A and B are shown apart, each in its own frame.
Chain A
Amino acid sequence: MTADRTTAGRSRITGLRRKKRYQEYRNLTTRRQLLLQALCLFVALTVLFPIIWVVSLSLDPRGLASADGLNLFPPGANFDNYFEVIERPTSNPVTFWQLAFNSLLLAVGAMVFSVALGVSAAYAFSRLSFRGRNVLMLGILAVLMLPAVAAIAPLFLSLNAVRVGDFNLRQSLVGVGLAVTSGLLPFAIWNLKGYLDTIPKELEEAASVDGATRNQAFRHVILPLAIPALAVTGFLGFVTGWTEFYFSSTFLGEKPGDWTLAVALNSMVGQFATTTPWAKFSAFAVLFALPVSLVYLALQKYIVSGLAIGGVKG
Chain B
Amino acid sequence: MSAASADASLGRPKGTRLPRDARTAYLYIAPALLVMAIITFYPLLFQVYISFTDFEFRNLLPNNPANFVGAENYLRIAQDRLNIPNFAFMRMLAFNLWWAASNVVIHVIIGVGVALLLNQPGLRFRRFWRALYILPVVIPPIIVATVWRNMFDTRDGVINQALIGLGGLARIPAEAFEIDWLRAPQDILPLMPLAFFALLIANTWLGWPLNAVVATGALQSIPKELYEAAEMDGAGAWQRFRNVTLVFLRPAMLPYAIYGFVITFNLFYLSFFMTAGGPFGKTELLVTQAFRLASQQRLYGVAAAFAVFMFFILLAITLLVNRAAKATASYDR
What are 23 residue pairs bridging A and B, where the CB atoms are less than 8 Å apart in the complex?
A: A28-B120, A46-B205, A48-B135, A50-B147, A70-B162, A124-B25, A124-B29, A126-B10, A137-B6, A154-B50, A155-B39, A183-B40, A185-B35, A186-B40, A208-B17, A217-B18, A243-B140, A278-B150, A289-B143, A292-B140, A300-B134, A300-B137, A304-B210
Interface residues, chain A, CB within 8 Å of chain B? Answer: 3, 14, 17-18, 21, 24-28, 33, 36-37, 39-40, 43-44, 46-48, 50-51, 53-54, 57, 66-67, 69-70, 113, 117-118, 120-121, 123-131, 133-134, 136-139, 141-143, 145-147, 149-158, 160, 178-179, 181-183, 185-186, 189, 197, 201, 204-205, 208-209, 213-214, 217-218, 239, 242-243, 245-246, 249-250, 262, 265-266, 268-271, 276, 278, 281-282, 285, 288-289, 292-293, 296-297, 300, 304, 307-308, 311, 314
Given the known interface contacts A40-B118, A67-B161, the answer about A145 and B43 at a Cβ–Cβ threshold of 8 Å is: no
Taking CB atoms, residues of chain A closer than 8 Å to B225 are 3
- Chain B residue contacts of A138, Cβ below 8 A: 3
Binds A, one of B101-109, B241-249, B300-308: B300-308
Contact across chains for B39 and A178 when beta carbons are under 8 A apart: yes
A130 with B117: CB separation less than 8 A: no
Q: Given A134-B7, A152-B307, A268-B146, output 10 extra A-B contacts at Cβ < 8 Å.
A: A69-B164, A121-B28, A121-B32, A147-B266, A150-B287, A150-B290, A151-B47, A208-B18, A266-B273, A300-B138
CB pair A40–B129 under 8 Å, yes or no, is yes
Q: Which of B74-82, B85-93, B310-318, B324-332 contacts A (4 or more CB under 8 A)?
A: B310-318
Contacts of B4 in A (CB 8 A): 134
Q: A53-B151, A185-B32, A289-B140 in contact; A47/B132 too (CB < 8 A)?
A: yes
- Residues of B whose CB lies within 8 Å of any CB of A are 1, 3-4, 6-7, 10, 12-13, 16-20, 22, 24-26, 28-29, 31-33, 35-36, 39-44, 46-47, 50, 55, 60, 114, 117-118, 120-125, 129, 132-144, 146-151, 153, 155-158, 161-162, 164-165, 205, 209-210, 213-214, 217, 224-225, 228, 231-232, 256, 259, 262-263, 266, 268-269, 273, 276, 287, 290-291, 293-295, 300-301, 303-304, 307, 310-311, 314-315, 318
Q: Cβ of B291 and Cβ of A145 under 8 Å apart?
A: no
- Bound complex: CA A178 to CA B34 (Å): 13
Is A314 a contact partner of B158 (Cβ separation < 8 A)? no
B16 near A54 with CB under 8 A, answer no
Whether A3 lies near B224 (C-beta < 8 A) is yes
Contact residues in B for A149 (Cβ distance below 8 Å): 268, 287, 290-291
What chain A residues lie within 8 Å of B153 (beta carbons)? 278
Chain A's nearest CB lies how many Å from the CB of B221? 13
Q: Which residues of A contact B120 (CB under 8 A)?
A: 28, 36
- In order of increasing CB-CB distance, the 9 nearest A-B pairs are A121-B32, A130-B25, A128-B25, A296-B138, A124-B28, A25-B121, A137-B3, A154-B43, A153-B303
